[in-house]
Amino acid sequence: MTPDLAPTPLASAIGPFASRGFLEVVHRHWSQGDLVVVDTQEAFFALERGPEGLTGVGHQDLVDYRSPAGGTSVGLIAELARGEALQLDSLPEEAARALCEALSNVGVEHNVTEHAITAVLDLPDAYENWLMLLSKKERHETRRKRRRYETMVGPVSVESFGLGKFDEFVALHRQSRDDKGQFMTDKMAAYFSDLLQLEGWSIDGLVDPEGALVAAGFGFSNVKGRFLYNSAFDWSRRDASPGVVLISSLIDDSCTKGHRVFDFLKGDETYKIRLGAVPRKLFEVQTV
């Protein structure tokens, strides 16, 4: 099925996470069972069938949103759940509500629980207008850290890259002194490399005057917004606050491009809220 003919996900503003291309890459690298796909003009969803029954494709730490697409999709999933166990996490409220209704319609008992959040920033039309939405203290700190970066590193410059800067991005991850330094295994790097070959995915890097990466965001963009999937920065330049400068620069770029949202995706880190994001609840539906 071509993207233009694909049914619309039941949950809005979820980026690439319900697309066939993304789910195929996740399944290829992190398979937990046999792939179960329905792909028609009226419905699209992908599940995995394992020893415990039907689950979403890939671990919830890798798939920030799940949503069946098309009006008939939840009915088809409910029919599958009449014969085997079903557990779906990371469902926005719209998708969770529709699935629960479909399960009830066919008499399948189920539980629904809130289990995670994403953090979503509704963007104004200009960077300065975003700054004015912040607290006075946060606005001052954002500007101060940007000035310090310019003094210590040089002019703020952000460029978008594909695989050309991928090895540098991986190296930034692996030099981290905290748990993040253990994240980018060879297997994870191969997964990220394949994501970069899908439409809409890129590395958006903060570069120094010599062109080296100081910080980088790995994510997906479309006409509606930017979805920040992962990030890393040069640990040796941490005193220049490259992470803060990167995020503020990406928000600036998104405002310029007319994006409506900047989605920090999963995680309850306080800095996301300080920068104006609002929690979006995610639910898990499990048959009993």
The radius of gyration of the chain's CA atoms, rounded to the nearest angstrom, is 20
Claim to verify: residue 129 and residue 255 sit in the same structural domain: yes
For residue 1, what pLDDT is reported?
43
pTM for this prediction = 0.94
Claim to verify: residue 80 and residue 177 sit in the same structural domain: no
Sign of CA dihedral 253, 257, 260, 265: negative
Claim to verify: residue 79 and residue 150 sit in the same structural domain: no
Domain enclosing residue 151, as ranges: 124-259
Claim to verify: residue 100 and residue 130 sit in the same structural domain: no
Over the stretch 61-93, which tens digit does the pLDDT of each residue have?
999 999 999 999 999 999 999 999 999 999 999
- Number of compact structural domains in the chain: 2
For residue 191, what pLDDT is reported?
98
Which residue numbers in the chain have pLDDT < 70?
1-5, 178, 181
How many C-beta neighbours within 10 Å does residue 258 have? 11
For residue 177, what pLDDT is reported?
73
For residue 181, what pLDDT is reported?
67
Claim to verify: residue 31 and residue 128 sit in the same structural domain: no
